[in-house]
Structure 1
Amino acid sequence: MSMVSLPGLKELIESISRERNLPRNAVQNALREALLKGYERYRRAQNLDKKHFEEEYFDNFEVELDVEEQGFRVLATKTIIEEVTNSDHEISLKDVQEFAGDAAQIGDSVLVDVTPDKEEFGRMAAMQTKQVLSQKLRDQQRQMIQEEFQDIEDTVLQARVLRFERQSVIMAVSSSFGQPEVEAELPKREQLPNDNYRANATFKVYLKKVLQGQHRGPQLLVSRADAGLVVYLFANEVPEIEDEVVRIVAVAREANPPSRHVGPRTKIAVDTLDRDVDPVGACIGARGSRIQVVVNELRGEKIDVIRWSPDPATYIANALSPARVDEVRLMDPETRQTHVLVAEDQLSLAIGKEGQNVRLAARLTGWKIDIKDRDKYDYAAEDAKFAAAARQQAAAQLEEELAEEELAEEELEDMIETVDDTGEALDEELETSEELEESATNEL
C-alpha cells in the first residue's frame, strides 16, 4: 500500500493532546477527519474526469493513520460489478481477482487503497487540513466538556480567576480531582458586588448551564448570584440538612439589588419533622458559627433564616423577620393577597430599605404582601373594598361565562341549520330519484 509521509506525526499528536487536554485517540480522530477533508478538497481542485462531486460523494472514503510509520493512506469502499461506470465507488471483478483471488463475487464490497502517488498531494493536504484540524479539535473539546459537565449542572464547583473579557470574568473549573481545568464564564449579572475578582483568586461557583452548539468562548456558564449557591453552602455546612433531618423549603435571593444603596440579601425558609430539632438554630449554629461561614463565602451578604409553616399567616409573619408582626389578614386566598399589620415603629423594618425586606418575603411565600400601620388600619373599609372587588370579579366572570354560552348556542344553531339544509337537500334528491323511477316505470 502506498502512503503519504507525515514526518513528526507521533510528536504532533502528543503535543496537541497535551495542549488541548484531549486524549490521543480524540486527536487522531480529528486528524483523520481533517485529512479526509483535505483529500476531498484536493480532488475537487483537481476535478478528476471533470466530475461533479455531490455532497455525499466522498462518504465511502476514509483515512488510515499509521503513527509508527508516520504517514497516512486514503482508502475507499467500492462495490464489485461487471462494468464500471464510476471508478470512485465501483471496481470490476477482474481487477479485484488480481489481488483478492477468486473469493470475490459481484455485489460484494472491497476496501481499496486510493492514496495518490503525487508528492504534491502531501503538501496540499497539509495546507488544506490545517484549518479543518483546528475546527475539529475545537469540536472534540466541546463534546468532551458537554459529556463531562452535563451531568453536574446545578452543582457547585471550585473556580479560579483567569482573566477578564469585557464585563465577564473567565474562570478555570474542573469537574473532579485529577481532571484538566476548562474555562467558564461568569457574566456581570451573575457576579456579587462585594467580590474581588483578582487574578488567581478562588471562589465557589454554581454551574448554571452547559451551553450547546457552536458557541464562541467558554461553554460553561457559572454564577455567584444564583440561589442554588446558598442552598449548597448551607447543605455543606449544616449536617442536619445533609442527613435530611432539616429541609430547605424555599429560598429568595437578591444578590444584585436594583439600587447600589441596598446590599445583597437572602431569605431562606427551613423546616423539620423532628420535634427535638430546631431547624433555624441548626442552620445558624452555636453563636452563629455555621451561618457565618456562609456569610463569609458570600462576602458579607445578609441572610435571614426563617421557619417555614403550613399556615400561610404564620409563614408570612416569619418571612418578614426581623420585623415584629401583629396580625396577618389573608384578604383574598385565591389571588394570594394579604394585609400585614405592624406597629408604627416596625413599618420601616418590615418594608426594608427600598422595599427589599417585603419584596423578598413576597417572593419567598408566593403572596402579595401589603404592609399596613396597625393604628391607622380601617378593617371595615378594607373589607368593603375587597368585597366590592370580589363582586366585580364575579360579575366579570359571569359575563364571560354568559358570552361563552351565547357563543355555544350560536354554534349549535349553526349546526342545526346545517343539518336542516342537509336534510332538505337529501329530500330533494330523494324526490328527484322517485320522479326518475316513476318516469322509467311509465316508459316500460
Structure 2
Amino acid sequence: MSLVSLPNLKDLIDSISRERNLPKHAVENALREALLKGYERFRRTQRLAEGVHFEEDYFDNFDVELDIEYEDEQGFRVLATKTIVEEVTSADHQIALAEVLEVAPEAQVGDTVVLDVTPEQRDFGRMAAIQTKQVLAQKLRDQQRKLIQEEFQDLEGTILMATVQRFERQSVIMTISSGTGQPEVEAELLKRDQLPNDNYRPNSKFRVVLKRVSEGSHRGPQLLVSRADAALVVELFSNEVPEIEDEIVRIVAVAREANPPSRSVGPRTKIAVDTAERDVDPVGACIGARGSRIQVVVNELRGEKIDVIRYSLDPATYIANALSPARVDEVRLMNPEERQAHVLVPEDQLSLAIGKEGQNVRLAARLTGWKIDIKDTAKYDHAEE
C-alpha cells in the first residue's frame, strides 16, 4: 500500500498530546480529520478542470489511516470505500465489476470495497499541506474545548478556587481546576462579575462560582466565573452552615447588589432563610455564635454587608422582615394580584427603610417579589389611600 511519509509522526503526536494536555487518541483523531481535509483540497484541485460538482457529503466515503508502528515508515494513507457497479459514473465513489473480478472472483454488483487512493508524496501539494495545518490547529482547539466542557459542565453553580493570571481589557483571566487531577484551565472574570473591593493581583487566589461553560469555538476562555453572582453567597453559606448542608435550614431567596449603581453605596445582600424544625432558629444558625459563621462569608466577600432575614408565608410579615434593620409599624397589601404594598414606618426609620440611594427597599422588593412603597406612619391617610 502507498504511504505519504511523515517522519517522526509518533513523536509529533506525543509532543502535541503533552503540550495541549490532550489524550493521544484525541490528537490522532484531529490529525486524521485534518489530513482528510488536506486530501479534499488536493482532490478538488485535481478535478477542477473536469467540472465535477462537489456535494457536501462528497468525501464521506474517504478516510485517513495513520501508520506510526514502525520508526522508519511513519506517515498516512488515504482509503476510499467504493461501490461495485457495472458502469462507473463517479470514479471517487464507484469501481467497475470487471476490474474487481480480476482479484476477487466472488464480487457482485452492490458490494463495497476499500481501496488505497493515497496520492504520491510530490502530488500532495503546498496548498493541501497548508489546508491540513490550518484544520489541524482548529481541530486541536475543538478537542480541547470539548474536553473542558466534559470536565466542567457538571460543576456549573459550584464554588472553585481561582488564581489570578493577568488582565485582558477589563476582564481578569484566572486559572481554575475541576479537582479531578486534570491540569488547570483558564476562566474569564468579566468586569460585571468582579467585586469593587477585590484586589486582583497576579497569583492571588479567590473563591469564584462557575457561572457558565460555553460551547462552540468562540475566542477566549470558555469558562465564565463570577464573584458577583448570588449563587456565590448561597454556596458560601452552604459551606459554613451545617444546618443548610443537612437541609435543616433552607435558603428561600437571595437578592444581591454586588456592583451598586453608585460608588457611594457599598455591595449588599439580603438572604431569606426558613426551617421546618421548631427548635431551630434559621437566622441564628446562619449568623453563628458571636457572628462567627456570617463573618467568614463577609470576609470572603471583602466586607460586603449581608442581611439574613426570616422567611414567612405571610407576605406582610415577609416584607417587614425583608426591610431589616428598619423597624416597621404596618404593612398594607394594597393590590395582592399585582403584588403592591405600602409599608408604614416611623419618621426616624424612613431613611433606614429606604436605604442609601434606595438600596434597602430595592433589595427587599427583589427578595420578596413585591413592589414596596415606604410611607411615614404619622402622615399616612388610611382613608385616602
Which residue of the partner structure matches residue 28 of structure 1?
28
Give secondary structure in 1 for the equivalent of 2:373: strand
Alignment deviations for residues 21-76 of structure 1 (CA, whole Å, 9 cap, x no partner): 21111111110010011111112223377241413222211100112232100000
The equivalent of 1:145 in structure 2 is 148
Native 8 Å contact 1:267 1:360 kept in 2: yes
Matched, 1:42 2:42: yes
CA distance in 1, matches of 2:199, 2:223: 21
Q: Is the 8 A contact 2:42 2:125 kept in 1?
A: no
Whether 1:184 aligns to 2:187 is yes
Partner-residue secondary structure (3-state), 2:114:
strand
Deviations 1:81-131 (A, max 9, x none): 2232322211123332444x3232221001000111343427664333111
Match in the other structure for 1:68:
69
Query: For residues 278-314 of structure 1, what are the alpha-carbon distances to aligned partners after superposition, in whole Å with 9 as ceiling and x for unaligned?
Result: 0001001111111111111111100000011111111
Tell me the distance in 2 between the aligned counterparts of 1:370 and 1:336: 11
- Tell me how far apart the structure 2 counterparts of residues 301 and 331 of structure 1 sit (CA, whole Å): 33
Residues 376-428 of structure 1, C-alpha deviations (whole Å, 9 max, x = no match): 2222222xxxxxxxxxxxxxxxxxxxxxxxxxxxxxxxxxxxxxxxxxxxxxx
User: How far apart are the structure 2 equivalents of 1:46 and 1:233?
Assistant: 63
SS in 2 for 1:16: helix
The residue aligned with 1:11 is 11
8 Å contact kept, 1:4–1:122: no
Q: Which amino acid aligns with 2:21?
A: N
Structure 1, 253-262 or 44-53: larger mean CA deviation: 44-53
After TM superposition, the structure 1 stretch with the greater mean CA deviation from structure 2, 306-315 or 199-208, is 199-208
Distance change >3 Å, CA 176–CA 53, structure 1 → 2: farther
Which stretch of structure 1 is more off in the superposition, 360-369 or 329-338?
329-338
Contact 1:266/1:302, CA 8 A, preserved across alignment: yes
1: distance between equivalents of 2:239 and 2:135? 45
Asked if 1:370 is matched to 2:376, the reply is: no
Q: In the alignment, which residue of structure 1 is the partner of 2:172? A: 169
User: Offset of 1:147 from its aligned partner?
Assistant: 2.3
Question: Matched residues in 2 for 1:156 and 1:317: separation?
Answer: 32
What is the match of residue 258 of structure 2?
255
Q: Does 1:245 align with 2:248?
A: yes
What SS does the corresponding residue of 1:330 show, helix, strand or coil? Answer: strand
Give 1:349's aligned residue.
352
Tell me if the contact between 2:5 and 2:121 (Cα under 8 Å) persists in the aligned partners.
no
Distance 2:47 2:84 in 1: 24
Q: Secondary structure at the match of 1:119?
A: coil
Q: Secondary structure at the match of 2:124?
A: helix
User: Residue type of the partner of 1:262?
Assistant: V
Q: Mean alpha-carbon deviation: is it higher for 198-207 or for 248-257?
A: 198-207
1:154 aligns with 2:162: no
- The correspondence for 2:83, drawn from 60, 79, 82, is 79
2:283 alignment partner, one of 268, 280, 284: 280
Query: Residues 48 and 319 from structure 1, CA distance in 2 versus in 1: closer, same or farther, beyond 3 angstroms?
Result: closer
C-alpha distance in structure 2 between counterparts of 1:316 and 1:48, whole Å? 75
- Could you say which residue in structure 1 is the equivalent of 2:97? 93
Note the residue ranges of structure 2 that are not aligned, 5 or more in a row: none
Q: CA deviation at 1:154?
A: 2.1
Equivalent-residue separation in structure 1 for 2:106 and 2:224 (angstroms)? 58
- Identity across aligned pairs (percent)? 78
Code of the aligned partner of 1:170: I
Q: Which has the larger radius of gyration?
A: 1
> Separation in 2 of the partners of 1:36 and 1:66?
15
**Paired residue for 1:433?**
none
Counterparts of 1:261-272 in structure 2, within 5 Å, are 261-272=264-275
- The aligned amino acid for 1:6 is L
Q: Please tell me the residue identity of whatever aligns with 1:95.
A: E
Contact 2:41 2:127 in 1 (8 A): no
Task: Give the drift of 1:277.
Answer: 0.6
Alignment partner for residue 307 of structure 1, among 307, 310, 313? 310
1:181 deviates by: 1.9
Which range moves more in the overlay, 120-129 or 183-192?
Answer: 120-129
Matched, 1:130 2:133: yes
User: Match of 1:66, SS?
Assistant: strand
| Inter-partner Cα distance in structure 1 for 2:348 and 2:121 | 92
Asked whether the equivalents of residues 44 and 53 of structure 1 are also in contact (C-alpha less than 8 Å), the reply is: no
Letter of the aligned partner of 1:92 in structure 2?
A
More helix by share: 1
Per-residue deviation, 1:15: 1.3
More deviation in 139-148 or 191-200? Answer: 139-148
Partners of 1:5 and 1:122 within 8 A in 2:
no
Q: Which amino acid aligns with 2:113?
A: V
One-letter amino acid of the counterpart of residue 75, structure 1? L
Flag the structure with more relative contact order, 1 or 2, with Cα contacts below 8 A and sequence separation at least 6.
2
